[in-house]
Amino acid sequence: MTRVLSVTSECVPLIKTGGLADVAGALPAALAPHGVEMRTVLPGYRVVMAAQGHDAPVVMELGDLFGGPARIRRGTLADAVLYILDAPHLFDRDGGPYLGPDGKDWPDNPQRFAALDRAAAIIARDGIEGWHPQILHLHDWQAGLAPVYLRQLGVSGVKSLLTIHNIAFQGLAPAHMLGALQLPAHLFTPQGFEYWGRISALKAGIVFAEKVSTVSPTYAEELMTPEFGMGMEGVLASRGGDFVGILNGIDLDAWTPPFADLEGKARARARLRAEFGLPETAGPLCVVVSRLSEQKGLDLLIEALPALIENGGQLIVLGAGDARIESALREAAERNPANVALRIGYDEALAHRMIEGGDAILVPSRFEPCGLTQMYGLRYGTLPVVSLTGGLADTVINASAAAMGAGVATGLQFHPVNAPALARTLARMVQLYRQPRLWQAMVANAMAQPVGWDASARAYADLFKVMTTA
């Protein structure tokens, strides 16, 4: 049994801002059948402590940790062990895990996540409850300093894997914080964790972890280019074969369609239209469940929307984000009440109903490390319309002439990632929808696609095995 400590800043069902939380929450159970015992360490945010931290037993005292007393409490994550970093001076506050109530980064974020990383390194050095991890699985910049602390504390025999979920966030801090973060000055170099005169927690992880992964094979290739690498492309390319892409999966228990045939799909579509006050039409009902941002390509969708509406399609959007995009979508809904509906915010149950009842799910992201909503769409026979990037490219089989001829298409991809290409693809999607035999075959293909964690968990387990035997 390989022993792995997952070091993460968020984890379902306790705290979530994005796909990282889904991955961190799913991996322990997914890896268990493959001979991996994964335990998780998570910051004791107010919401986490309220859920299970206050009465949880203390299993390690850490003393002063970046300005106040800290300890590790033992909780549970389904059938796995959860360690909660109880440090009230860093985590007991209103707001989100990274942003305060004012929507701005917590000014002490460098210390907050350095504390998580140092706690993980201490667990690696000393063990906890008689359990000694062989590998630290580090998620994003928030866990990036852990390999540096491993070195600093003289920990030998414990390897680390950094998984990059989104390279846009790099954990930057000013150089004068070296002392405050208890970081070794001799590693603050271009070959270490120095990045244009600043400390980069993400770069620290990329440079000093034994292995680096990201969440899809295509995104791994993209990250080694200036277009997608966001300044880290050279560092990642230098890792060579130590940098790999492993596709995420989805929780099949949480995302199981309540219907087994097209009649059930049709009933779900009718209920969804009724919920949003949209009339029955002969065109496809498209859905978007997304953060409303330019990264997610929602500005492109707004520009391309006439191609959907003029061809008889409808659109329902659930999400929140950029005020300009929210405003433009409101205007589109007001101008086209029979074709466009909008719900600002997020509602997990509604997201399920939308993906259940939609004919197509639109994911026009400019970049997408992995993406989960297109996989939810596949699972529910809600055909994904996606840009040709990252995990979207790896999970959707485009309805090209060859794929349609071979009977394997599961959705539509568009490229280049711009509004005209999206508009052409939306028009083609409507044309396919009007050919029931072809559309139904694509729906069947989509629902047959393996989108769970089994293959991905096996890939992680194999990587962990290589790391422990190297």
Q: What is the pLDDT of residues 176-200, one digit of tens each?
A: 999 999 999 999 999 999 999 999 9
Q: What type of residue sits at position 87?
A: A
Residue 214 confidence (pLDDT): 98
CB 38 within 8 Å of CB 11 = no
Residue 288 confidence (pLDDT): 98
Binding residue positions: 16
Which long-range contacts does 423-429 make (Cβ < 8 Å, 24+ apart)?
A: 423/303, 423/304, 423/306, 423/307, 424/307, 425/385, 426/286, 426/304, 426/307, 426/308, 426/311, 426/313, 426/362, 426/385, 427/307, 427/308, 427/311, 428/399, 429/284, 429/313, 429/360, 429/383, 429/385
Please give the Cα distance from 240 to 242 (Å, whole number).
Answer: 5
pLDDT in tens, 313-346: 999 999 999 999 999 999 999 999 999 999 999 8
Residue-wise over 63-91: b if at least 16 C-beta within 10 A, else e?
A: eebbeeebbbbbbebeebbbbbbbbebbb
Binding residue positions for ADP-alpha-D-glucose: 16
Confidence at 470, pLDDT banded by 50, 70, 90: confident
Residue 261 confidence (pLDDT): 85
Backbone phi and psi for residue 12, each to the nearest 5 degrees, phi listed first: -75, 150
Q: Is residue 19 predicted with pLDDT exceeding 90? A: no
Q: Is residue 33 predicted with pLDDT exceeding 80? A: yes
More confident residue, 218 or 55: 218
Mean pLDDT over 245-265 rounds to: 92
pLDDT in tens, 281-318: 999 999 999 999 999 999 999 999 999 999 999 999 99
Confidence at 254, pLDDT banded by 50, 70, 90: confident
Give the residue among 68, 8, 69, 73 at the shortest CA–CA distance from 42. 8
Domain segments of the chain as ranges: 2-249+454-469, 262-448
Q: Token pair for residue 112?
A: 């907050």
Residue 416 confidence (pLDDT): 97
Per CATH, the number for 2-249+454-469 is 3.40.50.2000
Confidence at 262, pLDDT banded by 50, 70, 90: confident
Please give the Cα distance from 89 to 385 (Å, whole number).
Answer: 45
Identify the residue whose tokens are 């580090």.
138
Q: Is residue 260 predicted with pLDDT exceeding 90? A: no
Mean pLDDT over 167-177 rounds to: 96
Give the residue among 434, 417, 414 at the shortest CA–CA distance from 426. 414
pLDDT in tens, 51-82: 997 889 999 999 999 999 999 999 999 999 99
Please give the Cα distance from 400 to 410 (Å, whole number).
Answer: 10
Confidence at 18, pLDDT banded by 50, 70, 90: confident
Backbone phi and psi for residue 218, each to the nearest 5 degrees, phi listed first: -70, -40
Q: What type of residue sits at position 194?
A: E
Mean pLDDT over 256-260 rounds to: 90
Cross-strand pairs, 81: 76
Same fold, 2-249+454-469 and 262-448: yes
Please give the Cα distance from 85 to 382 (Å, whole number).
Answer: 40
Tell me the pLDDT of the chain averaged across its residues: 96
Range name among 13-27, 132-146, 327-341 with the lowest pLDDT average? 13-27
Looking at domain 262-448, its CATH class is alpha beta
Burial class (CB in 10 A: 0-12, 13-18, 19+), 388: middle
Residue 191 confidence (pLDDT): 97
